[in-house]
Structure 1
Amino acid sequence: MAQISTKLTRLIDINVPITCPPMANTSSAVLATEVTLGGGLGFLTADYGDVQALRQSLADARGLLKIEATGNLPIGVGFLTWKLEEHHDSSRAYDMIDAALSNKVKAIWFSFGRHIHTWIQRVRQWDKLHLQDTKVFVLVSSLQEAKVASKDWGADVLVAQGIEAGGHGASYAPPTLSLVTSILKHLPENGPPVVAAGGLSNGSHVAAFLTLGASGAVLGTRFLLTPESRYTDAQRARLLTASAESTVRTLAFDQVRGTLGWPEGIDGRGTRNAIVDQFEAGLGIEELRARVKEGTSRDDPDYMIIWAGTGVGDMTEIKGAKVLVQEMHQEIVRRLKAGAALIEAEKVGN
């Protein structure tokens, strides 16, 4: 298999410049490990703050990878930083961070917080004390956020998430293409790797961003269409029939779940269904929550939250995460070679 060398692959020692992001309530230990086994980097999620669940997921991942208790764990863990900040005056937030760090994970991912720099400092302090080298990913949705994360916070990797992204993101974000090119233009060449996120669905998309100067890509929705994600068959079936026009940015899903407290400007993109329609029509939130609870119990996709980015229309099959990463790697290589073939060798003489 041809090797792809970028800032990202060299920094975190992976073969494929693809990351499966932490996705609350949908990621799993088996999904993260299969992505890693495929050559990319898979992330677990701390979800909304269950320490015991995170510890169990880390133990599951360690078992799946057959790594002893003291060995480095080649996956990452992602945190919704605003949830950590809800518990900043107790030990709960630190227990969450320390659970990941004590397992010697390869990376920590921070997103959607007001004081992300304080949690980065926690990672740096741990690493210094325990002689570790944990890489810090920070999700950014504007050039200004990228500058702060890079210059002031010392992030190791910038995840540039555009408006097309499924799940939670910034309603003010520009399109992924504009965001990535702007960040690359204004940050120094020796800055942290920039990985593209939002609306990507295949290896060709990844290759396109690599040619722009990005160091890798994040694909979320595509990994929901794997047997290893925690989505149900009904949710995956709905994704297979969805198009870019089927998705909508809304706060409806958070209202019905009660997952409120996101920083200003953050909402979520998912497939439009009865939840969104009835929320927009003014149905009382308690009645809507009851309908969602009942609908979820019978696996009704009209009353289930199904996150999806705008690239969902290009996704036509369910495939194992490891195989998916490997196939996307081959597609990236093919596209990069095809692009290079467009350049003619300089002719010598007459």
Structure 2
Amino acid sequence: MRPLNCGDDDQTACPTNLGLNITPVHTLNLSLCATEPSSCLSHPTGRNTLPETPVQYTYNTVVAIMTSPQQIRTVTTDLLRITHPVMLAGMNVAAGPKLAAAVTNAGGIGVIGGVGYTPDMLREQIAELKSFLNDKNAPFGVDLLIPQVGGSARKTNYDYTKGKLDELVTIIIDSGARLFVSAVGVPPQAVVDRLHKAGIYYMNMIGHPKHVAKCLALGADLICAQGGEGGGHTGDVPTTVLIPTVAAMCKGKKGGMGAEVQVVAAGGLFNGQSLAAAMALGASAVWVGTRFVLSEEAGAPKAHQEAVRTAGFDDNIRTIIFTGRPLRVRKNPYIDNWETNRAAEIQELTAKGVIPVEHDLERMGDDIDDDTMDNARPFLMGKASAVVNDRLSAKQIVDEMVQGAVDEIRKSNAAIVSKSKL
């Protein structure tokens, strides 16, 4: 069986390069492959040029049938051994093992969010994920929240791992994960060293350029820059500003595994146009959350999926009432009341290290009404919720993103005026 890669080194038989090689910050590091996997369009030279001999990815027959042929090849697809530059955001329950496996089976990489998981829970979640994989050795990732606690950190920060980080990392290493993701903070150097020794790539989420240096110093292999349009914990720097800024900061820097640090884009990305745009801005893959919440395999409850499906452009908000740090969620009357009428109370509580919603629920005790209880459960979603209206399979989402991106890149290149030969 033929491996799923971009194929031939002999580019004389390939069509003219269709890569968007006009990016000012760095040369776009992708190649477009024709429908037949062994026929590939040449890629630009320059930053992050792919090796002359493509990495040979061998999948079993079942996966080969399920995974569409590779059309876009980047350094990140090579590093993670995936077919498509699409990554499932680790959204804890909203994603879940079944969706993570479905994204991996579709040729991307599925990531489960391990926030609040005990070691036994994480072990069970990974086992369930692997049970859904068509290729039991296919790549997947695990995302943990590792905020700084104490010192100059937010007083509402706490250890989500409850002192079990080393044990959780051991489980991740033993599981054969390909990727470890750290969010809302950075892991200890000892953890990064253990991951690298085990051959696991380390990616850190950031929402502001000021966090890049610390990630690079630790040996991050990938940096996921999430713009303020993203759902869940996010900053306020727009995606179109953040990605090229971070790409410039990572240019020429080597990660702990030896390859050049890759930028993964996140925040408001949901279709082929946004994948193509992210690559033009300097990313070599995308981290997608909200689009996958409204998928057939998502672990998100019906109410969460319906909240995404019906959301308009003014229906989400960043608030700190749920975790003590900015979290983009679907608006509701309970949140509006906090933000409009209890803003001073939010500041007072968080300054003391108290999370507002937890304070509310404890104060109400047994007297809490159903309406408050329902509205006190946040539905995480990004700005893309305004345009995500259809429930699709993970494979449809991945395939449509990739094909849409290829179409957009070709369309953009058609606008380039070639210099006439004298």
Scaled to the shorter chain, the TM-score interval is 0.7 to 0.9
Distance apart, 1:275 and its partner CA: 2.6
Q: For the structure 1 residues 51 and 332, does the alpha-carbon distance in structure 2 shift closer, same or farther, using more than 3 Å as the test?
A: same
Secondary structure at the counterpart of residue 77 of structure 1: strand
Q: Does 1:204 align with 2:204?
A: no
- The partner residue of 2:319 within 250, 262, 269 is 250
TM-score (norm 1): 0.84
Higher Rg: 2
Q: For the structure 1 residues 73 and 6, does the alpha-carbon distance in structure 2 shift closer, same or farther, using more than 3 Å as the test?
A: closer
Identical-residue share of aligned pairs (%):
25
Other-structure match for 2:116 = 48
Q: Does 1:315 align with 2:388?
A: yes
Q: For the structure 1 residues 331 and 114, does the alpha-carbon distance in structure 2 shift closer, same or farther, using more than 3 Å as the test?
A: closer
Secondary structure at the counterpart of residue 19 of structure 1: strand
Pairs aligned (count): 323
Q: Does 1:185 align with 2:244?
A: no
1:159-189: per-residue Cα shift (whole Å, max 9, x none)?
Answer: 001111100123xx41111111111223324
Q: For the structure 1 residues 291 and 80, does the alpha-carbon distance in structure 2 shift closer, same or farther, using more than 3 Å as the test?
A: farther
Q: Does 1:3 align with 2:71?
A: yes
**Counterpart amino acid of residue 285 in structure 1:** D
Q: For the structure 1 residues 189 and 244, does the alpha-carbon distance in structure 2 shift closer, same or farther, using more than 3 Å as the test?
A: farther
Q: Does 1:140 align with 2:206?
A: yes
Other-structure match for 1:75 = 140
Other-structure match for 2:166 = 94
**Structure 2 unaligned blocks of 5 or more:** 1-34, 36-69, 150-157, 254-259, 346-358
TM-score (norm 2): 0.70
Distance apart, 1:252 and its partner CA: 2.2
Q: For the structure 1 residues 211 and 305, does the alpha-carbon distance in structure 2 shift closer, same or farther, using more than 3 Å as the test?
A: same
Alpha-carbon distance in structure 1 between the residues aligned to 2:338 and 2:135 = 47
Other-structure match for 2:60 = none
**Counterpart amino acid of residue 179 in structure 2:** A
Other-structure match for 1:161 = 226
Q: State the structure with bigger RCO (CA 8 A, min sep 6), 1 or 2.
A: 1
**Counterpart amino acid of residue 182 in structure 1:** T
Higher helix share: 1
Other-structure match for 1:26 = 94
Q: Does 1:341 align with 2:377?
A: no
Other-structure match for 2:292 = 223
**Counterpart amino acid of residue 389 in structure 2:** T
Q: How much is the aligned-residue C-alpha RMSD, in angstroms?
A: 2.6
Q: For the structure 1 residues 296 and 153, does the alpha-carbon distance in structure 2 shift closer, same or farther, using more than 3 Å as the test?
A: same
Alpha-carbon distance in structure 1 between the residues aligned to 2:369 and 2:193 = 40
Secondary structure at the counterpart of residue 92 of structure 2: coil
Q: Does 1:267 align with 2:309?
A: no
Alpha-carbon distance in structure 1 between the residues aligned to 2:98 and 2:369 = 27
Equivalent residues of 1:147, 1:187 under 8 A apart? no
Other-structure match for 1:285 = 360
1:213-242: per-residue Cα shift (whole Å, max 9, x none)?
Answer: 211111111111112222222221121111
Q: For the structure 1 residues 177 and 52, does the alpha-carbon distance in structure 2 shift closer, same or farther, using more than 3 Å as the test?
A: same
Secondary structure at the counterpart of residue 329 of structure 1: helix
Distance apart, 1:303 and its partner CA: 5.0
Secondary structure at the counterpart of residue 5 of structure 1: strand
